[in-house]
């Protein structure tokens, strides 16, 4: 029996271990922006009704409209069709009292389970004399439910938005009706146009943005704002799914998704893969240009607790002859990443950020010996793992803390802005890992030295020289991190430019008399005129106030990692 953690309860630390080990090629592919993220309803499960809730809601919609003579009522006929789809026995049907709410029916749990597994057939029920999409538009009440502006994004949506800002995701096909990805992206970018949202084929011709979100089952928000235009694009019933890729209205989207499936490997998140149109897209893509197995990286990764029948059918459809042979079990295993989106997406963000820091450390003009490079890599890995260990299961709180902490650290690094509450996410670098070697700015913006500062602080914590914590209470005087040694806690500000220090003093985030402050500059230190003319510039052995040191100067002295640490501890009085 497997002892692997369940996909819903796996911790961030355990998820990172999967990415480091069995799925390292996949994680590196995400960091290189190679994967398309296919999004299903599971990523919004905690925000909107799930299929089982939708089933009860739609059944109640039908029940309350049954007339006084049920045998001649089209709504009663709709209920009878639902009972048939659920394969209720005569005895189970006889137990139903139509005068009682659906929730009180003895067979309500059975109906939830069976109809949620066949939701497309259930939503395909048509009522004589009513619009053909009655079950989707009115029974489910898509517009009122999924366009609710009071519903806030969850951890998955913010993590995806951050990955987009980091330049790591450019294609987001989604079966979801809601607008939480767009809302999260708007919050993190501070602008409405961070995504190119495509609901109709015509939308593909709009200007490109950081990423393209293909809402191939429609959009509740646009349908609520412009019913005449966007209501026909809401897909849920079997008739809509079966004819989706040949419908003139959506053919352009279908061709685009086929191209995505051909050119980018797939990560499926919150997806049951039971919709025939999705499997059809992947089948058509594989018929044109299939992905080989085994390959450089897994072409299909499914974030699931187990590989079910629908996922098995999809894998068989795309791998074909290989799936029919002796490799079937290995193909399933290579595609099965046992972590749902809520832990997986923050873990992918952390993994990619650490990978970028390791790459940045190699882009500096100083060069790294093999020994120093290994030491830096280990330090950054330790720093990443320490962050992951702070996750207590509140993934939303963790993601919001991560993106706000990173953004604030980046603003301090570049400009000395220490404000609290800024919502715009500042990416570590806005480009994927495989493009960073061509980024000439990284050689001079201080980020390579900044990566070494992070590694050194983490290595000091690993060696027991000090403890390392993120600032807890939001305060403009907080540093990038806090270093505690013995009974003393220092606020450490990591600075990429000389003017960043000036800004910290100008805003009084740091004061001349602060003795609990360490200012670590990535580059050379420029002497600063003090606010008080009675003090000499810089720090002397006797002068109170912040300690200042330059990582560039420490690196220039050469030597081993141990010698670098000795110099850092001496300069920082640690």
pLDDT of residue 50: 87
3-state percent helix, strand, coil for the chain, nearest multiple of 5: 50, 10, 40
Lowest-pLDDT range of 367-381, 451-465, 488-502, 539-553: 539-553
State the Cα–Cα distance between residues 495 and 408, nearest whole angstrom.
Answer: 12
Overall pTM surpassing 0.85 (yes/no): yes
- CATH architecture classification, 35-40+151-230+247-296+306-339: 3-Layer(aba) Sandwich (3.40)
**Separation of alpha carbons 455 and 449, rounded Å:** 10
Cα-only R_g, the chain: 28
Please list the alpha-helical segments (H only) found in 516-560: 551-556
Q: What percent of the chain has pLDDT over 90?
A: 81
pLDDT at res. 190? 80
* CA count, 13 A, side-chain hemisphere, 284: 15
**pLDDT of 65 above 80:** yes
Instruction: Give Cα separations from 327 to 2, 251, 319, 321, 518 (angstroms).
Output: 20, 34, 10, 10, 57
Q: Quick check: 538 pLDDT over 50?
A: no
Going from N- to C-terminal start, the domains of the chain cover 35-40+151-230+247-296+306-339, 51-146, 350-572
Rounded-to-integer distance, Cα 550 and Cα 573, Å = 14
Non-local CB neighbours of 101 within 8 Å, separated by 6+ positions: 60, 63
pLDDT in tens, 312-325: 988 998 988 889 88
What is the pLDDT averaged over residues 5-17?
93
The predicted structure's pLDDT at residue 76? 97
Residue 433 tokens read as 């890992």
Closest CA to 43 of 141, 158, 125: 158
Residues in the chain, total: 574
Least trusted range by pLDDT, from 41-45, 170-174, 541-545: 541-545
Asked whether the beta carbons of 348 and 30 are under 8 A apart, the reply is yes
Query: Whole-number mean pLDDT of the chain?
Result: 92
pLDDT band at 101 (very low <50, low <70, confident <90, very high): very high
Distances (CA, A) of 221 to 49, 156, 180: 16, 19, 10
**How many helices (H) and strands (E) in the chain?**
26, 12
Above 60 in pLDDT, residue 537?
no
Q: Which of 426, 424, 349, 434 is nearest to 156 (CA)?
A: 349
Token digits of residue 317? 């459809």
Give the tens place of pLDDT for each residue, 187-245: 998 876 789 999 999 999 999 999 999 999 999 999 999 999 999 999 999 999 998 98
Where would I find the beta strands (DSSP E) of 120-251?
171-174, 195-198, 211-215
């Amino acid at each position: 029996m497997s002892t692997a953690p369940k996909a819903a309860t796996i911790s961030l630390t355990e998820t990172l271990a999967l990415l480091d080990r069995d799925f390292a090629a996949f994680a590196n592919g995400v960091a290189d922006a190679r994967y398309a993220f296919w999004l299903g309803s599971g990523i919004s499960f905690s925000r909107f009704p799930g299929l089982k809730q939708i089933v009860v809601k739609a059944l109640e919609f039908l029940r309350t409209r049954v007339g006084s003579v049920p045998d001649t009522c089209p709504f009663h006929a709709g209920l009878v069709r639902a009972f048939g789809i659920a394969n209720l026995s005569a005895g189970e049907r006889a137990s139903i009292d139509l005068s009682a709410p659906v929730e009180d029916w003895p067979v309500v749990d059975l109906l939830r389970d069976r109809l949620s597994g066949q939701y497309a057939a259930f939503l395909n029920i048509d009522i004589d004399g009513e619009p053909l999409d009655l079950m989707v538009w009115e029974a489910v009440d898509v517009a009122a439910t999924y366009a609710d502006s009071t519903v806030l994004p969850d951890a998955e949506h913010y993590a995806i938005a951050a990955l987009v800002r980091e330049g790591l995701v450019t294609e987001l096909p989604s079966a979801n009706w809601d607008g939480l990805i767009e809302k999260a992206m708007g919050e993190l970018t501070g602008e409405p146009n961070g995504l190119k949202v495509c609901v109709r084929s015509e939308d593909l011709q709009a200007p490109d943005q950081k990423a393209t979100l293909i809402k191939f089952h429609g959009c509740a928000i646009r349908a609520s704002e412009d019913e005449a235009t966007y209501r026909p694009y809401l897909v849920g019933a079997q008739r809509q799914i079966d004819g989706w890729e040949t419908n003139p209205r959506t053919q352009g989207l279908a061709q685009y998704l086929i191209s995505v499936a051909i050119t980018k490997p797939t990560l499926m998140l919150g997806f049951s893969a039971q919709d025939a149109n999705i499997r059809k897209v992947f089948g058509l893509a594989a018929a044109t240009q299939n992905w080989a197995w085994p390959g450089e990286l897994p072409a299909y990764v499914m974030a699931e607790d187990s590989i079910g029948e629908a996922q098995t059918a999809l894998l068989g459809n795309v791998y074909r002859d290989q799936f029919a042979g002796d490799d079937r079990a290995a193909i399933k295993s290579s595609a099965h990443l046992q972590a749902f989106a809520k832990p997986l997406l923050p873990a992918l963000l952390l993994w990619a950020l650490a990978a970028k820091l390791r790459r940045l450390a190699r882009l500096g003009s100083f060069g790294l010996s093999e020994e120093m490079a290994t030491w830096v890599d280990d330090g950054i890995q330790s720093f990443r793992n320490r962050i992951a260990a702070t996750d207590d299961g509140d993934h939303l709180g963790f993601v919001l803390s991560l993106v706000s902490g990173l953004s604030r650290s980046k603003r301090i690094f570049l400009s000395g802005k220490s404000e609290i509450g800024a919502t715009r996410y500042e990416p570590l670098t806005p480009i994927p890992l495989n493009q960073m070697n061509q980024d000439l700015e990284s050689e001079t913006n201080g980020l390579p030295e900044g990566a070494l500062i992070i590694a050194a602080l983490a290595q000091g914590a690993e060696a027991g020289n000090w403890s390392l914590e993120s600032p807890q209470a939001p305060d403009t005087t907080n540093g990038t991190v806090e270093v505690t040694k013995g009974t003393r806690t220092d606020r450490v500000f990591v600075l990429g430019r000389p003017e960043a220090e000036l800004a910290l003093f100008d805003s009084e985030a740091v004061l001349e008399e602060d003795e609990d402050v360490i200012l670590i500059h990535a580059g050379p230190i420029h002497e600063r005129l003090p606010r008080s003319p009675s003090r000499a510039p810089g720090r002397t052995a006797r002068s109170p106030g912040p300690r200042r040191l330059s990582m560039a100067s420490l690196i220039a002295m050469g030597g081993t990692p141990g010698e670098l640490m000795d110099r850092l501890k001496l300069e920082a009085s640690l």
